[in-house]
């Protein structure tokens, strides 16, 4: 494996952007299409792929960030329930009585936070009280986490549409069955 190939992989590991990594390694390449095609070819090279896999495994071991760990964190977000963090209730208080002696009741909505010792706070994005006394509680985006999990599990297939014709170089196009048999016979 060449030094340039190693440099490409080191650049690629920064952000997993092969086009950018190729242009950073091969400074004379300015065209994105050329860089994209050449980086794709490099990543398909068995030696380069083996070096990349080795570096990815080393990084995973060093950081202890694995696909399973990331998936578990996403699952915590995706399946978090507001009721695990907040309790809602309405308190009634008699504040006075009307002229007929009937109670005048004040209804107060109360939201209690469940003690953080009993909950997983890693899925909470925000807890705040504004200057006006408005309480705000927000979990991380459940839908985004579900989509990320679904993509990881291959649940969503991207639909690709192609317009135009596909040209294939077929050297046997237009040959008759007999001509094809003759070619096969010549190979024996």
Cα–Cα dist 61/80, whole Å: 28
The pLDDT value given to residue 188: 57
Fold (topology level) of 3-65 = Arc Repressor Mutant, subunit A (1.10.10)
pTM exceeding 0.75: no
Taking Cα atoms as reference points, which of 72, 74, 83, 88 lies closest to residue 140?
Answer: 74
The pLDDT value given to residue 187: 63
The pLDDT value given to residue 169: 80
The pLDDT value given to residue 62: 84
The residue extents of the domains of the chain are 3-65, 82-135
The pLDDT value given to residue 43: 93
Crossing angle of helices 32-44 and 46-63, rounded to 10°? 80
The pLDDT value given to residue 67: 84
pLDDT one-digit tens code per residue, 25-72: 999 988 999 999 999 999 999 999 999 999 988 888 888 878 888 999
Taking Cα atoms as reference points, which of 95, 83, 13 lies closest to residue 48?
Answer: 13
Give the mean pLDDT per block of 10 residues along the chain (188 residues): 93 91 93 92 93 90 84 94 92 94 93 89 92 92 93 78 75 83 75
Which residues fall within 8 angstroms of residue 66, CB to CB, at 6 or more apart?
60
């Amino acid at each position: 494996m060449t030094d340039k190939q190693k440099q490409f992989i080191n650049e690629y590991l920064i952000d997993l952007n092969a086009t950018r990594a190729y242009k950073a390694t091969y400074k004379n390449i300015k065209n994105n299409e050329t860089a994209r095609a050449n980086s794709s070819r490099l990543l398909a090279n068995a030696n380069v792929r083996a070096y990349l896999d080795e570096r990815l495994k080393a990084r995973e071991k060093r950081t202890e960030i694995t696909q399973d760990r990331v998936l578990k964190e996403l699952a915590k977000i995706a399946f978090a329930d507001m009721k695990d963090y907040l309790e809602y209730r309405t308190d009634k208080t008699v504040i006075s009585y009307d002229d007929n002696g009937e109670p005048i009741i004040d209804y107060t909505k109360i939201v209690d936070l469940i003690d953080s010792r009993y909950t997983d706070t890693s899925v909470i994005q925000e807890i705040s009280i504004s200057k006006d006394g408005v309480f705000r509680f927000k979990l991380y985006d459940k839908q985004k986490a579900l989509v990320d999990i679904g993509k990881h599990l291959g649940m969503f297939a991207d639909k690709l549409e192609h317009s135009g014709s596909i040209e294939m170089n077929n050297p046997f196009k237009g040959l008759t069955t007999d001509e094809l048999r003759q070619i096969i016979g010549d190979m024996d």
